[in-house]
Every structure is written in structure tokens, then in C-alpha cells.
């Protein structure tokens, strides 16, 4: 009799476990998220009016009018070099914080629009030298008052 009672108790315990597992899986279905995308890495040298910019000049990347990355140029053999990692837009946020596949990335050198653009892709790794033109025809003379 004890053996039957023990087996019946084991059977009930197993049934309880099976019911709780199936209840859990029905109540909270498992959702699979896409693996995180790999940032697009872009690097190169920076010039304004065909002259290298000073080391420490800000370079930024923009997608859809939103700044998505920025860094300062660093010294690379005496020349200003930048390295940006541009991440994918996070679909779980309401605001734009990255780029989507094939979206155009534009660049700024300080506040100047760079002439170059590139399309964003997950895992991209590109060398892109940046250049911009600044109108230097305006000359400002100091005002001297007596």
C-alpha cells in the first residue's frame, strides 16, 4: 500500500510540474529578439580647405538629422585622424539614436558640413577621409574705439 501511495504522490507531483510549466509557457510566451547589430566603424583623416585640421577637432556623424556619434581627432603620425562607431537605431526607444540599414550618414567637422557621405550597414568598416570647405573670403577687422 505504501508503494502505491508513493507512486501516486510522484505521479501527482509530476503532473503538477507539467501543468505549471505549460501554464507558464502559455502565460508568458518566449519572444526572440534579433541579435544586436554590429556598429559601422568609419575612420580617416580630416581636412578643411585642403589643410589638416588641428588635433582635437570634433567630428560627428548624423543620420536623419540626428547626431549619432562624435569623437575628437587624434594624432596619427602628425596628422588628424578620427574613428567613429555608428550604432543601429534602437527600435525599442521612441527617439532616433542610430541609423538603419542603407541610411545615409553625413558628417560634420566642428560645425562645417563634410563633403562626404556613406550608407550605414551593420558591421561596416570603412576608411573615409573627410573634407569640408570654409569660406575664408570674409575678413573681420578689429574695432578700435577711443
Calpha distance 104→61 (Å, rounded): 10
Residue 89, pLDDT above cutoff 70: yes
Asked if 68 contacts 99 with a C-beta cutoff of 8 angstroms, the reply is yes
DSSP labels, 60-98: EEEETTEEEEEEE-EEETTEEEEEEEEPBP-TTSSS--S
User: Residue 82: its pLDDT value, please?
Assistant: 98
Which is more confident, 40 or 14? 40
Q: What share of the chain is helix, strand, coil (3-state, %, to 5)?
A: 20, 40, 45
Alpha-helical (H) ranges within the chain are 2-27
User: Residue 30: its pLDDT value, please?
Assistant: 61
Q: What is the pTM of this model?
A: 0.70
Which is more confident, 137 or 87? 87
Residue 23, pLDDT above cutoff 60: no
Task: Tell me the domain boundaries of the chain.
Answer: 40-132
37 — pLDDT class (breaks 50, 70, 90): confident
Residue % of the chain over a pLDDT of 90: 64
User: Residue 2: its pLDDT value, please?
Assistant: 65
Which is more confident, 27 or 56? 56
Q: Which CATH number fits domain 40-132: 3.70.10.10, 3.40.50.720, 2.60.40.1120, 3.30.950.10?
A: 2.60.40.1120
Calpha distance 143→80 (Å, rounded): 34
Cα-based distances in Å from 138 to 31, 64, 132, 135:
60, 31, 17, 7
Asked if 68 contacts 37 with a C-beta cutoff of 8 angstroms, the reply is no
- For 127, residues 6+ apart whose C-beta sits below 8 A from its C-beta are 42, 43, 44
Amino acid at each position: 500500500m505504501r508503494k502505491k501511495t508513493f507512486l501516486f504522490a510522484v505521479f501527482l507531483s509530476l503532473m503538477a510540474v507539467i501543468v505549471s510549466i505549460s501554464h507558464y509557457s502559455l502565460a508568458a510566451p518566449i519572444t526572440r529578439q534579433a541579435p544586436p547589430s554590429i556598429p559601422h566603424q568609419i575612420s580617416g583623416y580630416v581636412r578643411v580647405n585642403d589643410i589638416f585640421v588641428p588635433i582635437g577637432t570634433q567630428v560627428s556623424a548624423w543620420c536623419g538629422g540626428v547626431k549619432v556619434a562624435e569623437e575628437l581627432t587624434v594624432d596619427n603620425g602628425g596628422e588628424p585622424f578620427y574613428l567613429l562607431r555608428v550604432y543601429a537605431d534602437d527600435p525599442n526607444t521612441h527617439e532616433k539614436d542610430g541609423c538603419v540599414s542603407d541610411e545615409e550618414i553625413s558628417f560634420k567637422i566642428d560645425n562645417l558640413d563634410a563633403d562626404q557621405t556613406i550608407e550605414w550597414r551593420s558591421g561596416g568598416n570603412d576608411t573615409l577621409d573627410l573634407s569640408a570647405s570654409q569660406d575664408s573670403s570674409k575678413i573681420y577687422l578689429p574695432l578700435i574705439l577711443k
